[in-house]
Amino acid sequence: MAIYTPRGLKVRLSVDYAFALMARLYPRVDAFRVLKTVEGIESLPQSFAFLAGLVCFFLNLLPSQIGITVFVVTVLFSLMTRYGLYVTPGIVRVGTIYSYLAGFGILLVLLAVFGFYRVGWRGVLAYFIARLAAGIVNWLLAMQETRMYFRKVGEAFTVSERNFFNAYRLHANALGITTDIDVDDQERERDNWEPAFLDLATKYPEVVAKFTVNSRQ
């Protein structure tokens, strides 16, 4: 089973479980907003890596300085998203805005052009090598954490599922309700979560159309 965010990010959770959590937030926070928050959290490492590159290019840093800065920023924000350490108000909004603008790689092309103008091809190359290296490190860490979750709870939660949990906790904390992600049988009943589901289905049918009920999909 899986649900999807508006931009197509797959979250491997059943509809009844995911909407049981989102029903706690509804109607003050609807399902669409929660799913966009998931996208924002998912985009945080990329958005701040982009901003770090922009600042490095603007300051005319050396290629080695660019590489180290971008690598460290990307890894740190990846760790932050995994553990839900959103200490600065509005920081997730940066990722959400980036997720709207980052389609088709246009921002990266513009960044590369700006970087080439400011620091030359070596600086731009250092930026992309740092992004690649950080991506490999983050992938290895994510795999390790997925195996850890499987050993502890019998579920292989990926980064996307953990980002969904963090999105729920973020909104739940703001509303002053429980951040516990365990749901009981009554909460899983369709009558409980259907209003939140129908609200999303009515306003954004193209999002709900992507949901799957087959665990192999």
Per-residue pLDDT tens listing for the chain (217 residues): 789 999 889 999 999 999 999 999 999 999 999 999 999 888 889 999 999 999 999 999 999 999 999 999 999 988 888 776 765 557 888 888 888 787 667 888 999 999 999 999 999 999 999 999 999 998 888 787 777 766 666 666 788 898 899 899 989 988 999 999 999 999 999 999 999 999 999 999 999 998 976 433 3
Q: What are phi and psi of 157, to 5 degrees?
A: -70, 125
Coil, helix or strand for 212?
strand
Angle at 69 between CA 96 and CA 88, to 5 degrees: 40
Question: For position 183, what pLDDT does the model report?
Answer: 92
Rounded CA separation 69/89 (Å): 23
* Two structure tokens written together for 202: 């009515």
* Two structure tokens written together for 98: 């980036």
Question: For position 215, what pLDDT does the model report?
Answer: 38
Question: For position 154, what pLDDT does the model report?
Answer: 60
Nearest to 48 by CA among 77, 72, 28, 24: 77
Coil, helix or strand for 206?
helix
Rounded CA separation 35/17 (Å): 14
Runs of H (alpha helix) within 7-105: 15-25, 31-58, 63-83, 91-101
Question: For position 1, what pLDDT does the model report?
Answer: 79
pTM for the model: 0.84
Rounded CA separation 4/13 (Å): 9
Rounded CA separation 194/88 (Å): 33
Nearest to 45 by CA among 156, 133, 145, 149: 133
